[in-house]
Amino acid sequence: MPFTFSHPAIVLPGYYLPQRWRSLTGLVAGSVAPDFEMFLKMKAQVSFSHTWHSIFWFNLPLAILLAFLFHLIVRNPLINHLPLFLRQRLSHFKDFDWIRYYRQHAWVVVVSMLVGIASHLFWDNFTHEYGLFLNWFPILATDVALGDYQIPVYFLLQIVFSIIGGLVVLYALLRPTVKSTSTLPAAQQVLWYWLLIFTATFVFTAIRFSTGIDFTYFPNVIVVIISAGLISLCLASYVFRSR
Contact 113, 105 (CB under 8 A): no
Average pLDDT, the chain: 91
The rounded distance, in Å, linking the Cα atoms of 62 and 48 is 13
Q: How many angstroms separate the Cα of 231 from the Cα of each of 60, 99, 133, 199, 203?
A: 20, 22, 34, 12, 11
pLDDT score of 46 more than 60: yes
Of 78, 74, 134, the closest CA to residue 98 belongs to: 74
**CA nearest 117: which of 237, 32, 19, 214?**
32
- The one-letter code for the residue type at 220 is N
Instruction: Please state the rounded mean pLDDT for residues 113-126.
Output: 93
Does the pLDDT at position 20 exceed 70? yes
What is residue 142's predicted lDDT score, i.e. its pLDDT? 85
Q: How confident is the model at residue 1 (pLDDT cuts 50, 70, 90)?
A: low
Mean pLDDT over residues 36-47, rounded?
Answer: 94
pLDDT in tens, 57-106: 999 999 999 999 999 999 999 999 999 888 988 998 999 999 999 999 99
- What is the 3-state composition of the chain as percent helix, strand, coil, each rounded to the nearest 5? 70, 5, 25
- Angle (CA) 58-62-63 rounded to 5° is 120
**Model pLDDT, residue 154:** 86
Range scoring the smallest mean pLDDT among 31-40, 78-87, 184-193, 231-240: 184-193
Angle of CA points 115, 21, 9, to nearest 5°:
45
**Minimal CA–CA distance to 35: which of 123, 163, 95?**
123
Contacts (Cβ under 8 Å, ≥6 apart) of 75: 93, 94
Could you read off the pLDDT of 144-194 as tens digits, one per residue? 888 788 888 888 888 899 999 999 999 998 876 666 666 667 788 999 999
The Cα 172–Cα 59 span in angstroms is: 25
Q: Distance between CA 35 and CA 187 in Å, rounded?
A: 34
pLDDT of residue 153: 86
Going by C-alpha positions, the residue among 36, 37, 28 that lies closest to residue 8 is 28
What mean pLDDT is predicted for residues 213-237?
A: 95
pLDDT at 54 over 90: yes
**Residue range 106-111: average pLDDT?**
98
Of 211, 203, 205, 240, nearest to 226 (Cα)? 205
The reported pLDDT for the residue numbered 176 is 63
Give the model's pLDDT for residue 139. Answer: 82
Q: Long-range contacts for 237-241 (Cβ within 8 Å, ≥24 apart)?
A: 237/73, 237/74, 237/77, 237/78, 238/73, 238/77, 239/196, 240/77, 240/80, 240/81, 240/189, 240/192, 240/193, 241/73, 241/76, 241/77
Structure confidence at residue 181 (pLDDT)? 62
Q: What percent of the chain has pLDDT over 90?
A: 65
Q: What local confidence, expressed as pLDDT, does residue 135 receive?
A: 77
Q: At 191, which amino acid appears? A: L
pLDDT at 138: 81
